[in-house]
Amino acid sequence: MSDWTAAEKDSLLGLKGMNPPVKSGNIHQAPPNQSIPQNWDWRSVTPSVVNPIKDQGQCGSCWSFASTATMESIYAITTGTLYSLSEQNLVSCSFLYGNLGCNGGWYYYSWKYTLTHPLESEANYPYTSGTTTKSGSCMYNSALGLVSTTGQADVLTDTTSIMTAIYQQPQAVAIEADTAYFQTYTSGILTCMTCCGTTIDHAVTAVGYGMDPTYGGYYIVRNSWGTSWGNAGYVNIGMADSPGVCGINQYVAYPTV
């Protein structure tokens, strides 16, 4: 991304300028005395519950990719069927719930939309905003809806609660992604609080966690900038007290389906 213009980079940051969301009030915290493994990665589960990396293109729709990724995974964990759900469905159709298409949004608002509007598959409602840079007109067909939400929950900002939540299912998280420290990532673990910042502007998905002998705990985070970015589309973000490295602890949440 080093040869991108500032405007091109900003177009990816779908939480930039968005007001902080009103959280659900349904709180997840670490269950007392719960034992979880030291390392966990939903990508390694068979049958698969995590889809291949997607690419949001030149549209501030990161929030829709975090929304669908978490819905896809918990539906697959629950039923054994992994769908690829339509981000375009959310980008074009969830304006009345607080989202702004290519100009930003929140996974919180997406899951409210999907309470009553089951998402179509990506095959039936393909993603076009990445190339058109437009939100597009809503072409939703409820008869083709596959997965709806039944609610959502917020996770407390301590690392233990976040780890137990990830062990339960992949989590939508918000980070600051406008720094060169983040954008030029290729491997390893991001651990520098001051290098990354904590003013959130981008939505991603935590699909696992691990423990490094040198740098300690970290989250395995799925981005939506294609496989050419980062480590084949992923980034490892170190664990720290709230607000967390890149601000990752602040808005951890998940849907129920």
Q: What CA–CA distance (Å, rounded) separates 130 from 151?
A: 28
Q: Which of 99, 223, 236, 249 is catalytic?
A: 223
- Give the β-pairing of 171-175 and 202-212: antiparallel
Active-site residue (options: 28, 51, 59, 62):
62
The answer to whether residue 202 is catalytic is yes
Question: How many whole angstroms separate alpha carbon 83 and alpha carbon 80?
Answer: 10
CB 171 within 8 A of CB 162: yes
One-letter identity of residue 120: E
Residue the block writes with tokens 């294609």:
226
- The amino acid sitting at 21 is P
- Rounded Cα distance between 84 and 121, Å, is 6
223 is catalytic: yes
Among the listed residues 59, 89, 102, 202, the single catalytic one is 202
Q: Tell me if residue 62 is catalytic.
A: yes
Q: Are 43 and 208 in contact (CB under 8 A)?
A: yes
Question: Which SS3 state, helix, strand or coil, does residue 63 take?
Answer: helix
Distances (CA, A) of 46 to 42, 43, 78: 9, 8, 13
Catalytic sites, residue numbers:
62, 202, 223
